[in-house]
């Protein structure tokens, strides 16, 4: 009886208080003058004392486990080669680095970064004095990375040293300069909003990675506005560089449904992590067949799935052989972007 009662107690506790997996993400990677690497990992959703069994680092040429999980600050773990059970090579010219942690022996992939001359890279290799850092606060959810000329290994990331400046003019659908003095705009994954001037010009800060921008958010009030289609902009920024780039609107500033920016109530997806090669969705605004869809993006920004919506709730079957990892789900209604949610796929 002494062996059975504790087991029953644990079972009842687990049913009443289900354990939520923590998140362990790769928040920064840097190299010294001798090409020795250092990784910074950061924990979320439960803090450092959750029951994490082990953490695995995988590159294009091998993998290894941490010997011990040691926090240098309450939520940060510093990893070097001597932290691992076996040496691991990370090529400073280009590589992929993926973090997997084991929660009660269950593997969960939360973040990966591809850089340099490695296939699928959106970030060039680092120079002396630079790092590749997770963008705050998005990297906790979208696993977005940027070059950083002010490395902060051991300290929580901020945007210092990450951004380039993009400047130019904004043109309306008639190719005329936009005349909205003080109009507030924002790109997806932009560190902050920016404002148009009376002469149609603008200046915006952008993170330093390869990016293709196809939409622009225009604020009509503090928290509401319109997603506008624009002529695609291809940007590859470097910290503190200046990029001259004009913006051409492909949507009118009227006849566009107003939405609340960043609203989490528009789209819900569950279970998350998805463990059965499918997930359920709920959309709180009307959908219209082929004009409404969910787009599934990999951590590298590549589209890996597109699912037309015919109902406001339903089940999405994921593509066969889709690898475990972190993904982004974007909702489009009437071909306009309304919401974004993170999705972890575990197999």
> Is there a domain that residue 335 lies in?
yes
- Output 224 or 156, whichever has higher pLDDT: 156
Span 167-186, mean pLDDT?
A: 92
For the cut 90, the answer to whether the pLDDT of residue 332 exceeds it is no
Does one domain contain both 188 and 272?
Answer: no
> Is there a domain that residue 232 lies in?
yes
Boundary-marking domain end, from 234, 260, 286 = 260
Does one domain contain both 16 and 136?
Answer: yes
Report the percentage of the chain scoring pLDDT > 70.
83
Does one domain contain both 126 and 181?
Answer: no
Asked which of 40-44, 65-69, 153-157, 297-301 is least confident by mean pLDDT, the reply is 297-301
Span 181-202, mean pLDDT?
A: 88
For the chain, the C-alpha Rg in angstroms (whole number) is: 22
Does one domain contain both 120 and 47?
Answer: yes
Q: Which residues, listed in sequence order, are joined to residue 53 by a DSSP beta bridge?
A: none
pLDDT recorded at residue 132: 96
The number of folded domains in the chain is 3
Boundary-marking domain end, from 260, 280, 305 = 260
For the cut 80, the answer to whether the pLDDT of residue 115 exceeds it is yes
pLDDT digits (tens, 9 = 90+) for 64-76: 999 998 888 888 9
Asked which of 118-122, 135-139, 198-202, 232-236 is least confident by mean pLDDT, the reply is 135-139
pLDDT digits (tens, 9 = 90+) for 228-261: 889 999 999 899 999 999 999 998 876 444 555 5
pLDDT recorded at residue 7: 35
Domain that holds residue 340: 267-345
Give the chain's mean pLDDT.
83
> Is there a domain that residue 158 lies in?
no
Span 339-344, mean pLDDT?
A: 83
Both tokens of 68, joined, read 């011990």
> Is there a domain that residue 39 lies in?
yes
> Is there a domain that residue 77 lies in?
yes
Is residue 5 classed as helix, strand or coil in its secondary structure? Answer: helix
Does one domain contain both 114 and 42?
Answer: yes
> Is there a domain that residue 277 lies in?
yes
Asked which of 47-51, 130-134, 277-281, 311-315 is least confident by mean pLDDT, the reply is 47-51
- Output 103 or 278, whichever has higher pLDDT: 278
DSSP for 13-53 reads: HHHHSPPPP-EEEEEEEEE-TT--EEEEEEEESS-TTS-EE
Nearest to 225 by CA among 217, 216, 233, 236: 217
Span 158-175, mean pLDDT?
A: 93
Residues 6+ away with beta carbon under 8 Å from 138: 144, 189
Does one domain contain both 293 and 223?
Answer: no
For the cut 80, the answer to whether the pLDDT of residue 8 exceeds it is no
Asked which of 39-53, 190-204, 265-279, 297-311 is least confident by mean pLDDT, the reply is 39-53
Q: How many CB atoms lie under 10 A from the CB of residue 258?
A: 9
> Is there a domain that residue 3 lies in?
no
């Amino acid at each position: 009886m002494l062996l059975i009662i504790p087991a029953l107690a644990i079972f009842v506790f687990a049913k009443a208080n289900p354990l939520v997996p923590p998140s362990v993400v790769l928040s920064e990677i840097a190299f010294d003058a001798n090409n020795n690497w250092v990784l910074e990992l950061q924990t979320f959703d439960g803090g450092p004392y959750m029951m994490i069994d082990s953490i695995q680092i995988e590159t294009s040429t091998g993998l290894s486990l941490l010997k011990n999980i040691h926090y240098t600050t309450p939520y940060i773990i510093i990893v070097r080669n001597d932290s691992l059970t076996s040496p691991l090579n990370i090529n400073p010219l280009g590589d992929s680095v993926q973090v997997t942690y084991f929660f009660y022996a269950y593997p969960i992939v939360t973040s990966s970064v591809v850089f340099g001359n490695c296939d699928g890279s959106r970030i060039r290799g680092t120079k002396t004095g630079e790092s590749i850092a997770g963008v705050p606060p998005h990297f906790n959810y979208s696993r977005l990375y940027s070059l950083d000329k002010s490395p902060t290994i051991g300290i929580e990331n901020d945007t210092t040293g990450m951004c380039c400046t993009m400047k130019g003019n904004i043109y309306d659908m008639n190719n005329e300069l936009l005349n909205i003095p003080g109009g507030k705009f924002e790109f997806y994954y932009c560190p902050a909003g920016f404002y148009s001037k009376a002469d149609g010009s603008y200046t915006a800060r952008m993170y330093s990675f390869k990016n293709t921008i196809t939409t622009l958010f225009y604020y009509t009030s503090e928290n509401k506005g319109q997603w506008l289609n624009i002529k695609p902009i291809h940007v590859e920024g470097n910290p503190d560089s200046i990029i001259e780039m004009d913006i051409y609107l492909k949507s009118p500033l009227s006849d566009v449904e107003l939405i609340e920016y960043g609203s989490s109530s528009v789209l819900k997806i569950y279970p998350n992590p998805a463990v059965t090669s499918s997930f359920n969705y709920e959309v709180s605004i009307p959908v219209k067949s082929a004009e409404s869809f969910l787009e599934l993006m990999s951590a590298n920004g590549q589209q890996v799935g597109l699912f037309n919506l015919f109902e406001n709730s339903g089940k999405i079957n994921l593509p066969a052989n889709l690898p475990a990892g972190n993904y982004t789900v974007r909702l489009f209604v009437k071909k306009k972007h309304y919401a974004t949610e993170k999705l972890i796929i575990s197999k």
